[in-house]
Amino acid sequence: MSKTTAQLASDGVSDDTIAINAAISHGPRCAFQCDSSTTSPAIIYFPPGTYRVSAPIVQLYYTQFIGDALDVPTISALPWFEGLAVIDTDPYIPGGNGAEWYINQNNFYRQMRNFNIDITQMPEDKGAGIHWQVAQATSLQNIIFHMRPKSSTNRQQGIFMDNGSGGVMSDLVFNGGNYGAFLGNQQFTTRNLTFNGCNTAVYVNWDWLWTFKSLKVDGCDIGIDMSNLANVTNQTVGSVLVLDAVMTNTAIGIKTSYNMSSLPSTGGTLVLQNVDFGSTQVGVVGANGVDIILAGSQQVQAWYQGDTYRTKPTEDNQPVRRAPQEKTYLPSQPCPASSTATTIVTVTVGLPFTTAMAGPVYENGTISWPNNTSTLHASNCTATSYPTPTSRVCTGDAPALEFSRLQNNETAPNLAQSLLNGQIVFERSRPQYENVPVSSFVSVKSAGAVGDGITDDTTAIQNILNSATPDQIVYFDHGAYVITSTIQVPANIRITGEIWPLIMAQGPFFSDMANPKPVFRVGLPGDTGSVELSDLIFETAGALPGAILMEWNVAEESQGSCAMWDVHFRVGGSAGTQLQQDTCIANVPGSTPFKPECVGSFLMMHITSQATAYVENCWFWVADHELDMPAHNQTNIYNGRGLLVESHGPVWLYGTSSEHHQLYNYQLDGARDVFMATLQAETAYMQSAPNALQGGFPPIEAWNDPDFAECTTDLCTKTWGLRVLESENVYLYGAGLYSFFDNYQQDCLETESCQENMIDIRCSSNINLYGITTKASTNMINVNGQTVVLGHDHMNLFGQTLASFEL
């Protein structure tokens, strides 16, 4: 990473455009015609001051703009400013017929935080603050947009977003303007956005799904306009979810084109929960701006427009039940004489699963007995045997469901108390440590780590973590840190990185699929504490089929105290991974090209049963294409599993993506009290040649992997987007679960049938899914092994969409 100091005036008078862009482009950066690169990152730090600009500041690929957090700098457009936006993340090429510097859906790895963006000196008929056309691993935080006061002639915009595949934005304020934010993207998460005095606070030009959490609108003409039509009739907005929002002194809360005959049938899906229209004249209005669909001046607990499913309230729909199976585990050491036993637990078959699962818990060589009614029969300690239900053993059929296409008030879900902060779902902004003295930061390179991608830094890093005190912050300088055995992370620690340093697992310690081991083990089972991780990337160097990139064990000592932000997991496709296009290039469609040397990791992240976690803007990505080598070809890399959550709660997942794993992208197994705001997943592109059972990771029953036993075709034997097993109190707000290929061929998109199944729910209760979009999966949702929702019944402009599915 190159370093330079730019000579800027920042005096509020001089034009700093050339100097700022020169600082950004200093050294071997990834600019026009580069497409992508992970080897030339940069942090551009803006000290306090006012920076006047006359043309766009171009943020290059793999760049972070960071303003001073204590004295936030201002970037102000001069009156004669010319260009698309004050800050541009993807410039249009003059005369390029719409072509841009970067491919929008691959425009990864960017941050921007701590700024005032001011366009009030520009004429009111032009100007935008940020052109934010981005994809995964991107974020905006703590930015205030200043625009001219709203008027009928104002055309200014705070954010202009034409497309992309993101992404998270949080803690933003928009003052004035025509559109506070003009938005178009495949999927996105926004949290704590405030709009004051805009003509329209949010204009959603198009999307597949968008989740607005803690939206605040005051003094605007319209809160959210999602009424855009293509070709006069077709809605361009797939779905919008609004949760924990307040709209005050506003004429219209939300404007929509949806009605009972609109096209496509699920276009314009809208989910409102805990939205206060207290001083808003109209809650929801039709596209003509006149027809009142939902009155204002009220608190809305739940209101949906779109397709919904819920369990029928009949005697036949009892809680899902399961029958136990017996398994045997050898103890890790001889038992004490006082408890020598072969353990037999008596569990009545057919009890609700929450009772049946209260038998023994076997973890790390110990046995505990949470069920006081279990009986212990003494004999010897040569084995421990107990009945334990599995996800594939359920009694009875899938519950009967009732379908409605509606535009009406509904009963709000009863969210688990552990997930709430008062009356809203808990949320927490990424800490920036602006009030922590420099002396409290511990540089890992200064303390003995090398970070050159060659030297084994395991011992050095472990020693640094062991010696760090809770008042210190462990700072990973940018670099690549080779790890050859498990790093044990204390239960009370703060760790942050310098523009995503690489934690690279390597070596035979992580090679045994039958005995997977964590690279970073955060806490030990039973630990309680406070953990903060931010700005890190976890990778593998070579094939490591026994590597769990992160095991998260620690439970919160206060709400949300165990958390991570902007931590990403990337297997293959970049320099140093040994899993690039020169070794793992995608093969010609029609072949079965599995290569053991192109295996990634066993599992990216495991949140264990006793842990709690707050996770925001984290990407669990198996590289489908090359980032660094020329041509940026598609790659075939075989990674076992994405994100596994076994936590008994609470767990919050805000703005996460998990893509291209072999068996599943997301799995909740025995989980409770889980809140998720926008999940995004894609099926592995090379499937079904090989299919999920041929991609190097045979299912392991002890890990409750899918065994695809019900499958009779290759299209069935493909990555599950989301599995929910033996879980309860699950709340999902927005999911985009996509299948774009069958072995890189896209003929299947014509019939929306690139795979058979996408969501698997088994032996679970109080499962609440809102704003669900699947792409090219014949079946959207299966329950207890049976299809309950077909994709072709719920067509959207892109994919298939449900407003709600409540089980």
532-553 confidence digits (pLDDT tens): 999 999 999 999 999 999 999 9
User: Does the N-terminal peptide bond of residue 359 adopt cis geometry, omega within 30 degrees of 0?
Assistant: no
List of domains in the chain: 11-310 (2.160.20.10), 321-395 (no CATH), 440-806 (2.160.20.10)
**CA 775 vs CA 296, 621, 737, 758: distances in Å:** 35, 19, 6, 9
Q: How far apart are CA 90 and CA 706, in angstroms?
A: 40
Cα atoms in the 13 Å half-sphere on the side-chain side of 22: 9
386-421 confidence digits (pLDDT tens): 334 343 455 557 889 999 999 999 999 999 999 999
Residue 525 identity (one-letter amino acid):
P
Q: How far apart are CA 392 and CA 666, in angstroms?
A: 17
Average pLDDT, the chain: 91
Local structure of 338: helix, strand or coil? helix
Contact criterion met (CB below 8 Å) for 57 and 20? yes
**Structure confidence at residue 53 (pLDDT):** 98
Residue 127 identity (one-letter amino acid):
G
Contact criterion met (CB below 8 Å) for 67 and 113? yes
**Structure confidence at residue 381 (pLDDT):** 33
**Structure confidence at residue 256 (pLDDT):** 98
User: pLDDT class for 590, splitting at 50, 70, 90?
Assistant: low
User: pLDDT class for 346, splitting at 50, 70, 90?
Assistant: very low
User: pLDDT class for 587, splitting at 50, 70, 90?
Assistant: confident
**Structure confidence at residue 397 (pLDDT):** 77
721-742 confidence digits (pLDDT tens): 999 999 999 999 999 999 999 9
Maximum Cα–Cα distance for the chain, whole Å?
88
Cα atoms in the 13 Å half-sphere on the side-chain side of 286: 10
The two beta strands, 664-669 and 641-645, are parallel
User: pLDDT class for 232, splitting at 50, 70, 90?
Assistant: confident
Report which DSSP code applies to 630: T
Contact criterion met (CB below 8 Å) for 36 and 55? no
pLDDT at 640 over 70: yes
**Structure confidence at residue 711 (pLDDT):** 96
pLDDT at 562 over 50: yes
Mean pLDDT of 602-624: 99
Contacts with 81 (C-beta within 8 Å, 6 or more apart), sequence order: 53, 54, 55, 119, 122, 127
pLDDT at 2 over 50: no
pLDDT at 273 over 50: yes
Q: How far apart are CA 31 and CA 497, in angstroms?
A: 24
Q: How far apart are the first and last CA of the chain?
A: 50
Contact criterion met (CB below 8 Å) for 386 and 380? no
Identify the residue whose tokens are 């790390």: 364
**Structure confidence at residue 361 (pLDDT):** 34
Q: How far apart are CA 40 and CA 391, in angstroms?
A: 46
412-470 confidence digits (pLDDT tens): 999 999 999 999 999 999 999 999 999 999 999 999 999 999 999 999 999 999 999 99
Q: Per mean pLDDT, which range of 392-401, 584-593, 744-753 is the poorest?
A: 392-401
**CA 685 vs CA 145, 390, 660: distances in Å:** 40, 30, 7
- Could you tell me which residues are beta bridge partners of residue 672? 728
- Tokens representing 142 are 């703590």
In this structure, what is the dihedral angle of CA atoms 621, 622, 628, 632, given to the nearest 10 degrees? -110
Q: How far apart are CA 111 and CA 395, in angstroms?
A: 49
- Tokens representing 554 are 């620690």
User: pLDDT class for 378, splitting at 50, 70, 90?
Assistant: very low
pLDDT at 793 over 60: yes
pLDDT at 609 over 80: yes
Contacts with 575 (C-beta within 8 Å, 6 or more apart), sequence order: 38, 39, 628
Mean pLDDT of 25-42: 97
Q: State residue 604 phi and psi, 5-degree precision.
A: -80, -50
Mean pLDDT of 1-23: 80
**CA 454 vs CA 483, 541, 550, 577, 597: distances in Å:** 10, 10, 21, 12, 20
**Structure confidence at residue 312 (pLDDT):** 82
User: pLDDT class for 5, splitting at 50, 70, 90?
Assistant: low
Share of the chain above pLDDT 90, in %: 86
681-706 confidence digits (pLDDT tens): 999 999 999 999 999 999 999 999 99
**Maximum average pLDDT range among 58-67, 328-337, 373-382:** 58-67
Mean pLDDT of 145-167: 98
**Structure confidence at residue 398 (pLDDT):** 84
- Tokens representing 399 are 């519950």
Contacts with 316 (C-beta within 8 Å, 6 or more apart), sequence order: 399, 400
